[in-house]
Each structure stands twice: as structure tokens, then as C-alpha cells.
Structure 1
Amino acid sequence: MANSKLYKGSLVTIILKLLNESDKMYGYEITQKVKELTKGELKITEGALYPALHKLEAEGLLDVEVKKVDNRLRKYYKLTEKGNKETISKLQELQDYIKTMQVLVNPKLSLE
């Protein structure tokens, strides 16, 4: 599944969920956390991550804090209140989608 096209539609939800679980994260940290949680199955590239982060920031879902770390500037991303609400909405949307796909892929396992 590494670098699967399926994750692209879920990238925003993945970012929001990770930021919801931590106070703040920087870009590379997000990519490494996803890699760690999925045991290397899912790798988010910088080319996909940073445009998504910039879009979320422009939409008012993220605040950015720049800190100097080891003589380099590092951007930390944190959810805004609006971002917290959007996270709940996106997670529900994803859960609904997964249920629908389960019905289509394996109707016998469907509970409803």
C-alpha cells in the first residue's frame, strides 16, 4: 500500500487527526509519525504534505508557530478551534465512507 493513491483523498483527515492528538507538530514529524503508525506502509511525501498544510492554514484550520531549533527555523502547526471542529467532521465523514465501502466490498460482514 506504500504511496497508494487511496491515501491522497484522506491526507487532510490524517493531518488533522495527528494534530488533534498532539499539541503541535512540524512537517517532517508528521511524515515520520504516519510512517511509524503504519509500520512503513504509508509514506507521505513532502510534495503532498506541505501544499496540504498551507491550504489548511489558509482556510483558518491551522495556526503556525515558527521556532529556531539548532540554528534553523522550524514551522510548527497547531489546530485552531475551527480546525478542531473540522477534524471531528472529517473523521465522521471518513468513518461513514469506510462503512459504505465495507458494504460494497464485503456485504456479508456488514452489520447493518
Structure 2
Amino acid sequence: MNFRKISQNGKIEESNLEECLELYANNLETNKSDYYPIFEYKKQNKAILLVKGDGLWDIIWGKVLVNLDTKEISRIEFDRISETPGMGSGIRDSVYENQFIGVKLELDTIIFALKQNSKKYN
């Protein structure tokens, strides 16, 4: 595995496991950071990116597994959610998460967005 970190202005630097895990924990705890960890799988050419966005009541954090060859999402998982049970908490459901599988990301930019399609999820 390769360990890197990316600053808010897009500068990527080498890192190590301990620092990346510390960045990950700090980001979830404080909802802010100057750097975000990147975990790269060398043999599979995939990377895990930590992502965040605004929910209705609080920040939502997730992990995105990206195929670096195709720039497509292989898996997505939301793990810190402070939303109302029965409303925003539904984003943890596989039905919701699976809609993003195969979505291509523009990784040349620092910021990307995922938008839910118009389907209703029960």
C-alpha cells in the first residue's frame, strides 16, 4: 500500500500508515483538517479517498474506493452521519450507496460531487 495525504489546495504529499490513520480519526472527530488521507492499493490500482459533505444537521463523512485506471467508483461507504433516524440515516443503506457504483470521477480537480438520482428509496 501507498500512503499519501492531500491538502485542501490539492497538494499531494507522501505519508505513512500512522499519519494517515491519525488524519482519518482527526477528520472524523473535528470535522475539519488541512489534509485528508489517501490509501492506495498498488497491485489493484485503486485508492480509498475520504470525502465529506453537508447533511441537513451535520457533516457527513464517507469513504470512496476508486479504480484509478477507469476513474470509476468501485465502492462507497458512509460512516459518520448525524442525521435524523428514518430520514438522512438512510444513506447507510446499500440501496443508496450502490447507486454510485460505476460513476466516473473527474480526479484532475480537487472537488467532486455525488448527486443522488431522483429515485425514491424505501
TM-score (norm 1): 0.24
**Structure with max Cα Rg:** 1
- Asked which structure has the greater RCO (Cα within 8 Å, sep 6+), the reply is 1
TM-score (norm 2): 0.23
Would you tell me which structure has more strand in proportion to its own residues? 2
Would you tell me which structure has more helix in proportion to its own residues? 1
